[in-house]
Amino acid sequence: MSYRILETDDIPGYLRERGHWDDATDIGVREVSDGNMNRVFLASSADGTRSLAVKQALPWVRVAGPSWPMSPDRADAEARAYAQVAKVAPDKIPAIHGYDPENHALVMEDMSDLEVLRTRLNEGEPYGPHTSARTGELVAQLSFATSDFGMESAERKALIAASVSPELCKITEDVVLSEPYIEHEHNHWHEQLDDLAADFRADARLRTEVADLRHTFMTSAQALLHGDLHTGSIMVGEREGAHVVRVFDPEFSFVGPVGYDLGLYWANALVSEERARALGTLSDHGDQLRLSWEAFESEFRRLWPTRVDTFFDDAYLDRFLRRVWTESLGYAGTEIVRRIIGFAHLTDLTTLPDPVPASRRALLLGRELIVRREELSTPEHVRALL
Ligand code: SR1
Ligand code: MG
């Protein structure tokens, strides 16, 4: 399948052709690609009054190049996910101006007035009072609406079918949920973590628990997920005096276990806490797991009376939420581990003057979250581990 891979100089013409920019003003463009997978360009008028972002999926993993081919159809999954979130939480995602399926390109709001949450945290800034609450709420709103509680059975079966994303799910099944626990060429780590990496590969109990989480990831079609909800997929800032949170980059979206989204967020919050501990800049880090869980739970409970299938009773809601909590802890553990001994690492740790002590703490915490998730029943239990 061939399509037009956009370069910086192509963007003004592309935006005009697609009807996103209909006057003759000069358009300045810069490439701001940052994630592992895609390219992103920002286009703005010379006077700075108008701007747009263009995101295009390449036929490979951007950071690996053509040696790691990857279908650009992942952009379809991203556009679909944005369309679903727009129905229930339009204030928590960027405005989408158009999707071009032929060229796998999304034209969307320029959010460069906001800051990527990871960048802000790495610079020593606190989360502030709303970031985790809005993120937890978003997970509740998206997951309730796309679960069998918020959607009629037949419509949901169609959503599940339309959201199947084999290649991107396989990336997660591999790089998050198996490779760090086996010998694999993708894996790498700091040499002073050799002992822990070897321990983790030899740990039969850990491997069985990760297998359980992996199988749940493969089979538990609870709701539409963001699929990669780390702190690099969230932008925060102020607009007109209000704190805004925007979740972006849902290309890994598919119908899976809700705890995967919460778990990724928690893992990244916990790793950022280890960075802050190492640098002596701890602030509100320790509250974030609790705040996001409380916001998720209270929003999910608020929506519960609107469920479309009342055979699911209140006692079942408690059981469902308990399962989401437990699985979230497990996925948080796997996300921490893979970010230190797997393929894709985090700048939170890699940019520390000495990443080893914080990485060791995080790895051990990750293992505990995986193997002891059933006995950790509250945010306070997780705090006690730290
Ligand atoms: C090959 S991609 C590795 C990671 O980058 C993405 O952002 C996802 O987190 C994926 O696991
Ligand atoms: Mg991404």
What is the whole-number distance in angstroms between the Cα of residue 307 and the centre of ligand 1?
Answer: 34
- pLDDT of res. 186: 96
**CA nearest ligand 1 atom 7, residue:** 36
146 in Cβ contact with 84 (< 8 Å): yes
Q: What phi and psi, each to the nearest 5 degrees, are found at residue 97?
A: -95, -20
Provide the H-helix boundaries in the chain.
11-17, 74-88, 117-122, 131-145, 153-162, 166-171, 194-202, 204-219, 258-279, 288-303, 314-341, 347-350, 355-371, 379-385
CATH 3.30.200.20, the chain: domain bounds: 1-110
Q: How far is CA 210 from CA 47, 153, 176, 300, 335, in A?
A: 53, 30, 10, 27, 11
What is the whole-number distance in angstroms between the Cα of residue 275 and the centre of ligand 1?
Answer: 21
Ligand nearest to the CA of 60: 1
Please tell me the pTM assigned to this model.
0.96
Place of tokens 């230190």: 340
Mutation test residue for ligand 1: of 175, 176, 247, 251, the one with most atoms within 8 Å of CB = 175
- pLDDT of res. 2: 86
Q: What phi and psi, each to the nearest 5 degrees, are found at residue 374?
A: -70, -30
What is the whole-number distance in angstroms between the Cα of residue 104 and the centre of ligand 1?
Answer: 18
CATH 3.90.1200.10, the chain: domain bounds: 111-385
- pLDDT of res. 36: 85
Question: Regarding the domain delimited by 111-385, which CATH topology (the fold level of the hierarchy) does it fall under?
Answer: Aminoglycoside 3'-phosphotransferase; Chain: A, domain 2 (3.90.1200)
What is the whole-number distance in angstroms between the Cα of residue 317 and the centre of ligand 1?
Answer: 32
Between CA 342 and CA 345 the distance in angstroms is 7
- pLDDT of res. 1: 57
**CA nearest ligand 1 atom 8, residue:** 228
What is the whole-number distance in angstroms between the Cα of residue 345 and the centre of ligand 1?
Answer: 9
b or e along 138-149 (b: 16 or more beta carbons within 10 Å of the residue's beta carbon)?
bbbbbbbbbbbb
In this structure, the residues whose C-beta lies within 6 A of any atom of ligand 1 are 35-37, 61, 171-172, 175-176, 228, 343-344
**Closest approach atom of ligand 1 to CA 230:** 9
- pLDDT of res. 129: 85
**CA nearest ligand 1 atom 2, residue:** 36
**Closest approach atom of ligand 1 to CA 63:** 1
Ligand nearest to the CA of 343: 1
Three-state DSSP state, 27? strand
Burial of 283 (0-12, 13-18, 19+ CB in 10 A): middle
What is the whole-number distance in angstroms between the Cα of residue 36 and the centre of ligand 1?
Answer: 6
Q: Does domain 1-110 match CATH 3.40.1710.10?
A: no
Between CA 85 and CA 106 the distance in angstroms is 15
- Residue 234 pairs in a beta bridge with 247
Report the amino acid identity of residue 14. Answer: Y
Mutation test residue for ligand 1: of 228, 253, 271, 341, the one with most atoms within 8 Å of CB = 228
Q: Which residues of the chain have pLDDT under 50?
A: none
Report the amino acid identity of residue 166. Answer: P
